[in-house]
Amino acid sequence: MATLLARLGTTAYRRWYYFMLAWVVLLVLIGGIAAGFSKPLSSEVSIPGIPSQKAADLQTELFPGSESAFDQANVNVVVQAPEGQKLTQAKYRKAIKQLAAGITALPQYPSDPSTQEAVKTPIETAAAYTKQLVGQAQQTGGSVKAARADAQAVSPLSQDQRTGVITFSWDVTTPADVKQSTLDDLQALMDEVSQSSGLTVAANGQGATSAELGYLSETIGLGVALLVLVLTFGSLVSAGMPLFNAVFGVMVGLGGVTAMTAVIDIDQSAPILASMLGLAVGVDYTLFILARYRTELHGTDDRAAAIGIAVGTAGSAVVFAGLTVLIALAALSVVGIPFLTAMGLAAAATVLVAVLVALTLLPAVLGLLKSKAFAGRVRRRGPKHDETGAVLNNGVRWARVVEKRSVAIAVLVVVGLGAIALPLRNLELAFPSDSTKPVGSTQRIASDLMTEAFGPGREGPLLVIVDGRDVPAQKRLASFQRVATWAGRFDGVENAQVVLTNANPKQPEVAPTGAQVLVTPTFGPSSPEAEDLLSRLRANEPEIDDETGTVSGVTGLTAIQTDVSDRLASALPVYLAIVIGLAFVLLMIVFRSILVPLTATVGFLLSVLATLGATVAVFQEGAFGLFDPAPIVSFMPIFLVGVVFGLAMDYQVFLVTRMREAHVHGMSTDDAVVDGFRNSARVVTAAATIMIAVFAAFMLQSDPITKSIGFALAIAIVFDAFIVRMALIPAVLHLLGEKAWWMPRWLDRLLPSVDVEGEKLQRPAASGPTGPLDAEPAGA
């Protein structure tokens, strides 16, 4: 492999114009496809085969035209009168009518009158619904009191008449299609009404959040990366190359992700996750090869040969590091969760582009710049040397400290990370809701107002779909009502009522075949009680089905999200086994050892458990008061495992390949560990710092999911790069000694041989592994 990659690097350096032209053409081609054939991003998180999806399919069958719970771009505009006042007062009635009229004039509001009825005020809607239910009760001899209770349970006007809700939907295919400018206009309208009337006005719902993302986080991350690269290389030109390559790779990768929407559904979170990883690994991979190129220049003036050796050696490590990330991301497809599969494939595509850019575009840029590659010097200083003439830097000093205190450091790391992982015991997984939005946001204000006025269950109802096709026509309505009565008797249910049947108004003599029963709980959708209620309803479904002759199923946004969370939790062990198994084999091929991959895997488990523990403490339990406590988003653990495993193996490969290279060339294990730190510690430190900056900058996004993912990935790099890879792994290698490289002969013969260390490369001059990084390269 090293020979093939070296030839590729040398060719790209010498024929730089062809390679650069090819990349530009590819970018234009992908951009054209994305512009011409891309489709909107998806917010769908359902999984075929889960109980709530089966019920949703039944709903579609009985009620043709029913939208998926995730495709409903509904908005709840909540209005509240000052304390002691009522919305029914004349001045507030006028303001609410002004608000309702203004909504119909907003962009993306349905323009076709037949598409949607005119927006009604909560006072009008509440009165009409109460009149309808009471009238039905009087006609059928039912309880008027119960009818009024049912009307109040779903009424858009609170019982004290102080709070009301105006509900409407945008004329879009999915919530992801709602433009930020539309929401800005809605906010301006609400502010105008609020200021003129004294009402509190806020909006929430799936149609009240835009999927458009800002670029402040990427800009900050790149700014920190530039600073770190300038300090690392002491040159403005060389510092800019990793950033140029990373940004170019992300442009190609995100263009590809956008183009992929033409054939598969891509989750709306995929682009930001792809850009996170693309920027981080794009800088890292380019940095690693560029640093090796600079080291090789100390032994030769032949720049083409130097880049060939750099791509052959460091490039081999980049390939295997990239493969571990690709395995971790692509393996998300085996757990059978469509939206997670799309996210993993999108991120994997961006990482693949980052690897190809580092192997081909970087040598081409170096070929273009030639002797100017390290121009723009801002710092000049040569490294110190020890008594043998080898470079003496902070990496060497740290490695020797670890060598002297291997046992203490290993124990301290294991105990420390174990202690940080303890909050993981209290992990609560759920999908985010408006109640978990940032304090002060219009979604959070609206959610708090609704909870205060109507109870927490109003935002998390369950929907029971009842199929009565096998029930005699004359008994269907009674069967539907019996199911509603049955659902209302469960602990934790505030109200259950039939809210819709599929009766045809043009054929009133034909009995309906299906009904929808709305179940309003006494608790919110993210609470553990909601999952318990869902389980109890489903456990008793056979009983009510046998009694009434119907077929029922529970669906709705809360039910779907709960089922997805359960599927994600059950898929995690399978995913871990696949990823760790494949990566373990890959690392055995690279290091020709069993114990080195084993220590790498154990280190990863420690870092990911500590990461999850820290994330639970900060985001779920509100430690340090940085964020409002909220459950962890359901797909966080499985996605974090995949990404962190891939990145952890990056640093393992970057550090330990240099150690193995030194060991292959005759050094003892102890000396090889020190030599590996001499050559790679500074580069890995810079790469990890850049990655932490890129991930941490995403905590500046307003979306709580993005904040938590940015934090988790950033703290994971802190734990894995600086604590596990730079402390625990060298300590364990020192303790193992020569046994670290042990592998049975029969297994060694079975595994394919890859020349990661570049033993077969023709070197123009002695440019051994002790070449200084700080010294001026030849001819610079």
Are 654 and 680 in contact by the 8 Å Cβ rule? The answer is yes
How far apart, in whole angstroms, are the C-alpha atoms of residue 603 and residue 377? 38
592: left (phi over 0), alpha (psi -120 to 50) or beta: left
- DSSP 3-state assignment of 665? coil
**pLDDT tens digits, one per residue of 248-290:** 999 998 888 888 887 777 766 678 778 878 887 888 899 889 9
Question: 133 lies in a domain?
Answer: no
| Residue 545 vs residue 343, higher pLDDT | 545
**pLDDT tens digits, one per residue of 674-727:** 988 888 888 888 888 888 887 888 788 777 777 888 899 899 999 999 999 999
Question: 127 lies in a domain?
Answer: no
Q: Domain span at residue 332?
A: 2-41+212-433+561-750
Question: 497 lies in a domain?
Answer: no
How far apart, in whole angstroms, are the C-alpha atoms of residue 640 and residue 633? 11
pLDDT average, residue stretch 414-434: 88
**pLDDT tens digits, one per residue of 458-467:** 888 999 999 9
Residue 210: partners with Cβ closer than 8 Å, 6 or more residues away:
178, 179, 180, 183
Question: 196 lies in a domain?
Answer: no
SS3 content of the chain, % helix, strand, coil (to 5): 65, 10, 25
pLDDT average, residue stretch 80-92: 93
Q: Could you write out the three-class secondary structure of 193-233? A: HHHHHCCEEEEECHHHCCCCCCCHHHHHHHHHHHHHHHHHH
Q: Taking each helix axis as running N to C, give the angle between helix 270-296 and helix 636-664, from 0 to 180 degrees, rounded to the nearest 10.
A: 10
pLDDT at 46: 59
pLDDT at 758: 58
Angle at 776 between CA 770 and CA 780, to 5 degrees: 130
Question: 160 lies in a domain?
Answer: no
Q: What is the CATH number of the domain that holds 723?
A: 1.20.1640.10
Question: 280 lies in a domain?
Answer: yes
**pLDDT tens digits, one per residue of 613-623:** 999 999 888 88
Question: 565 lies in a domain?
Answer: yes
Query: How many domains is the chain built from?
Result: 1
Question: 408 lies in a domain?
Answer: yes
| Residue 504 vs residue 734, higher pLDDT | 734
pTM recorded for the entire structure: 0.78
